[in-house]
Copies of this chain bind each other. A is one copy, B any other.
Amino acid sequence: MSVRLEKLQGLLDEPLLVTNPVNVFYLTGFKSSNPALLVDTERVQLFTDFRYASAARDIAGVEFVEAKRDLLGDLASRLSGRIGFESAYVSYAGWEKLRSNGLELVPRPGHVESLRAVKDEDELASLRRACAITDRVYERLAEERFVGRTERDLAWTMTQLFHAEGGAAISFELLVASGPNSAKPHARAGDRKIGRGETVVIDAGCVVDGYASDYTRTFATGTLPDDLRDAYAVVAEAQQAALARIRAGLSGVEADGLARDVVERTPFAGLFGHGLGHGLGIEVHEAPRLSPESGDTLVPGNVVTVEPGIYIPGRGGIRIEDDVVVTEGGIENLTHLRKDVVEVG
């Protein structure tokens, strides 16, 4: 029985049916698109269909039960009594199916997610490796020519660099946004040719042992116009203010405020159009959130992004993003890249 499963058992008022595949992977290491883990204090049963049966048999402390491909329908007829379910994951239609045979279902959102928010040493080791690869990729990227190439072409170069540096898979569709596109926080790499004197926002990461890194750096293709140069300095200062003071005990709102206050005191007030950061682990976005709307409080072992930005419509944008571990007294920064403006050709 894994320590993670034991911790989960300690949280439960009734057996919990874990059906989010990411949560099943976290608890057991088992990967499937169609799993259900019934966690009780006495026993843990893993249900999945024949396609995953051979892998499901070998998990220590877990009893495998081969189920139909219509997993929820099958569980509705097998289970009885009072059972918690992952209500933030199970669809309304899935809930209707599960309860069709009289099962008493208790919505229990976020149990496994709350465990996942605090990383153990194995998880931190994977994240450190993912970040070390990402560091090297960004360093090699800075040696590339930018001007005259399309965003899409540069994105492909970066994909190749991730492969060259450890064969790591990309953790999300990597963003390359240049010139006016960089003023849109969610622009994708397109056919725009990168020009001179622009900002190029690059947001990318890789997966090691199932754990994702997520960095952003903003490159300058030669000397930037004054407004963008000033905005870069403000973003760097805002990030530094957050990195210097984030620690366990702060709320997600307070952490966000550390950086936001810096931006709001400048002519760029109002242009930091997203939260300061988010948890990182098996998923690229998980608990806790650092933002003005966050309900979370930081605890040791959280791994979060710290990514202030300024976006000037029609002109350009700047974002600088590190991945950090929250500790009792501060942070361990997993990102070891320079923060000043990197000029590229």
Q: Which residues of A contact B (CB under 8 A)?
A: 50-52, 54, 69-70, 85, 87-96, 107, 109, 152, 156, 159, 163, 167, 169, 173, 184-186, 273-274, 293
Alpha-carbon distance between A89 and B167 when the two chains are bound, in angstroms: 34
Contact A51 B92 (CB under 8 A): no
A-B pairs with lowest CB-CB distance, top 7: A87-B92, A87-B93, A88-B93, A92-B95, A93-B109, A88-B91, A90-B92
Q: Indicate whether A92 sits within 8 Å of B70 (C-beta atoms), given known contacts A51-B273, A54-B184, A156-B167.
A: no
Query: Which of chain B's residues have a CB closer than 8 A to the CB of A156?
Result: 163, 167
Number of copies of this protein chain within its complex: 2
Specify the chain B residue showing the minimal Cβ separation from A89: B91
Cβ of A114 to closest chain B Cβ, rounded Å = 15
Specify the chain B residue showing the minimal Cβ separation from A188: B31
Which of B51, B167, B173, B293 is the one whose CB lies under 8 Å from A185?
B51
Query: Which of chain B's residues have a CB closer than 8 A to the CB of A173?
Result: 169
Contact B91 A90 (CB under 8 A): yes
Query: Which of chain B's residues have a CB closer than 8 A to the CB of A109?
Result: 93
Which of B54, B85, B92 is the one whose CB lies under 8 Å from A107?
B92
Specify the chain B residue showing the minimal Cβ separation from A163: B156
Contact B274 A51 (CB under 8 A): yes
Specify the chain B residue showing the minimal Cβ separation from A33: B186
Specify the chain B residue showing the minimal Cβ separation from A274: B51
Query: Which of chain B's residues have a CB closer than 8 A to the CB of A93?
Result: 87-88, 107, 109
Alpha-carbon distance between A217 and B172 when the two chains are bound, in angstroms: 27
Alpha-carbon distance between A169 and B159 when the two chains are bound, in angstroms: 11
Most buried by B among A50, A69, A93, A94: A93
Cβ of A118 to closest chain B Cβ, rounded Å = 22
Some 17 contacts from A to B, beta carbons below 8 A apart, are A50-B273, A51-B185, A51-B186, A69-B293, A87-B91, A87-B92, A87-B93, A87-B96, A88-B92, A88-B94, A90-B91, A91-B91, A92-B94, A96-B107, A156-B163, A159-B159, A159-B163
